[in-house]
Structure 1
Amino acid sequence: MSFLWFTIKAYLFDALYSYAVGLVFVAFALAASARSQKAARRHDGDSASSDASIQAENVVITSVVFLLCSVQGLILAGAVKESLATRPDAWWLLWYFVGFGAALPAGLSAVQRTEDNATSQRISYLGAAGSYLAACFWPDLIPSLLLKVSQLLAV
């Protein structure tokens, strides 16, 4: 029963957290789009500077979303570790698979319209999966603040 409860909590956290990451991504993308349109109207043909500005904004957006997705992976790895520490007789491999599935941000799975968005999505998935796997092998990577959040998810 504890495994079922953990699965429900992990995927509920995944849905809520990745929805929040998606909102941050959309907010950044809308702000960047508005700035690039305003800059394009002001420069009247100076597309080199607006292209550079768009590329810089894409790097910032991707970095922020990558960081948020990496935090999600760390939180879920900590929750798996905490849950298995209290239930040493549990079948640990299944817990790790469920944690890995919940560590991947579900909110970023929408169809991507541009190559930049698809690249950001792949980098974010890589950050979430990488931080989850790294924290599973080296639990000391998880900061104490994130461990407290993980304890809320643990059963």
Structure 2
Amino acid sequence: MLTNAAIVLGTFVTMELVAWAVHKYILHGFLWSIHKSHHTKHNHLFELNDVSFMFYGVIAILCFIYGSEKHDYRFWIGVGISLYGAAYFLVHDLFIHRRLKLFGKTKSTYLRALDIAHKVHHKAKDKDNSESFGMLWVHPKFFRIARKR
């Protein structure tokens, strides 16, 4: 039981690192043609960039399929990837980008710092000159800014 929980937690943390690297080097690299829809102001619910996250969904599904019979480590990796995906949807799509108007202002310094970091990331309208590519990890400088507000 503890091993499975460790696999889920380890996968979740690893997903933040993978998402950071994919965002910085792939989405702001050769897949910019897909990701730029996320950096363009629009008034529709979905954007072309949304298809890029099917990649993680397919990996999670394969982990569930191949790990389900014995509930081996692959199953628990699938759980970790899925939980990260759920956190991504909740934090990035709902809280930061307000795709659905569910959240109001927050008093949480962490959430304000996260929001500021993401806004700084979106200041650059091209694939270069962006910073803050992660989803949950926030550079300390954004905490300092959030505390001042």
Please give the TM-score of this superposition, normalised by the length of structure 1: 0.39
Please give the TM-score of this superposition, normalised by the length of structure 2: 0.41
If asked which structure has higher relative contact order (CA below 8 Å, sep 6+), I would say 1
More helix by share: 1
Instruction: Please identify the structure whose Cα radius of gyration is greater.
Output: 1
